[in-house]
């Protein structure tokens, strides 16, 4: 049972649906497992709660 965790900034529900679909398809193709066994968790973080290269994402 593959479990995938995706951490990202907020996205629209339609974008998340497409992401979960494509990630699931990739695992089905690569690991030859049934789609029902692939779990995808999305953790969303507001721009003020993460940064990169020493800069808060909200400040970019």
Digits of tens for pLDDT over the chain (60 positions)? 999 999 999 999 999 999 999 999 999 999 999 999 999 999 999 999 999 999 999 999
pLDDT for res 22: 98
59/37 Cα distance (integer angstroms): 39
Burial category of 27 from C-beta neighbours within 10 Å (exposed 0-12, middle 13-18, buried 19 and up): buried
pLDDT for res 33: 98
pLDDT for res 57: 92
* pTM, rounded to two decimals: 0.86
The torsion angles phi and psi of 11, rounded to 5 degrees, stand at: -135, 165
pLDDT for res 14: 98
49/60 Cα distance (integer angstroms): 13
């Amino acid at each position: 049972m593959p479990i995938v965790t995706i951490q990202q900034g907020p996205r629209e529900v339609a974008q998340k649906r497409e992401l979960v679909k494509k990630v699931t398809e990739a695992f089905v193709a690569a690991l030859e497992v049934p789609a029902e066994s692939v779990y995808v968790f999305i953790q969303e973080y507001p721009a003020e709660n993460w940064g990169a290269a020493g800069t808060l994402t909200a400040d970019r």
